[in-house]
Amino acid sequence: MSNIVIDAINLNKTYNPDTIPVKAIDGVSLQMQRGEFAALVGPSGSGKTTLLNLLGGLDKPDSGSILINGTDITKLSENRLVDYRLHNIGFIFQAYNLVPVLTARENVEFIMLLQNIGKAEREQRVANLLNQVGLGDKMNVRPSQLSGGQQQRVAVARALASKPQFILADEPTANLDSHSASNLLDIMAMLNKEENMTFIFSTHDQRVIERARRVITLVDGKVTSDTGLVKTQPA
């Protein structure tokens, strides 16, 4: 079985092609192996978030292919792509994106309801995940009663709930203080090491960059440097 989770080939993406074209992604090719802890970095407007959205199937390239475990997601219909994302890709967003009227438990459980997972398995998985991120005592608390760091940890648990192939994190520490950001990174590094979970970050945060074992730099939509996959597990 191949260890390559993502194989992106010659991706191109231009916004506003009929007015003032903006070349967001320009001929990007890269592979991601299982167990990576990688950061996409670069100045604002370099294409980091666009590339993350392409890899996650939230947007489609104008040309090029994105193979996830051999499935080219650029060829899927919109309905099949929604289903594929649901079962294969976890997302963590800068703004947390928790449902405010749901408790921490219900936020994590929601994606499993969409996957039609039985109640007993849902309850066990939710309890395990919230315990893993240190929020086992906050299961019945709503987001408004949680700190920013706690809300982002709920978002990590939610991203893991679907048992995805990999997790895409768009500026996950941007709204957190230093202590909360460090705690969140500790948790994600632990999940990466113990579960061999693949994390790909889009970030400006030096704290994330220092933790990453692979750093891919984008400038004007092009990859200008890539430290490569040094190792699949931290020392």
CATH number of 36-59+77-226: 3.40.50.300
Mean pLDDT computed over 105-127: 94
Say what the pTM is. 0.88
pLDDT of 233 higher than 80: no
Residue 196 carries which DSSP code?
A: -
Report angle CA 26, 43, 168 to the nearest 5 degrees.
Answer: 75
Cα angle at 41 between 40 and 42, to 5 degrees? 140
Query: What's the confidence (pLDDT) of residue 166?
Result: 94
pLDDT in tens, 4-44: 999 999 999 999 888 888 999 999 999 999 999 999 999 99
pLDDT digits (tens, 9 = 90+) for 150-191: 999 999 999 999 889 999 999 999 888 898 999 999 999 999
Residue among 91, 97, 101 at smallest CA distance from 144: 101
Q: How confident is the model at residue 235 (pLDDT cuts 50, 70, 90)?
A: very low
pLDDT per residue over 53-86, tens digit each? 999 999 999 999 999 999 999 999 999 999 999 9
Please, which residues have CB within 8 angstroms of residue 119's CB and are 6 or more apart in sequence? Answer: none
- Please determine, for residue 95, whether its predicted confidence score (pLDDT) is greater than 90: no
| Percentage, residues of the chain above pLDDT 70 | 96
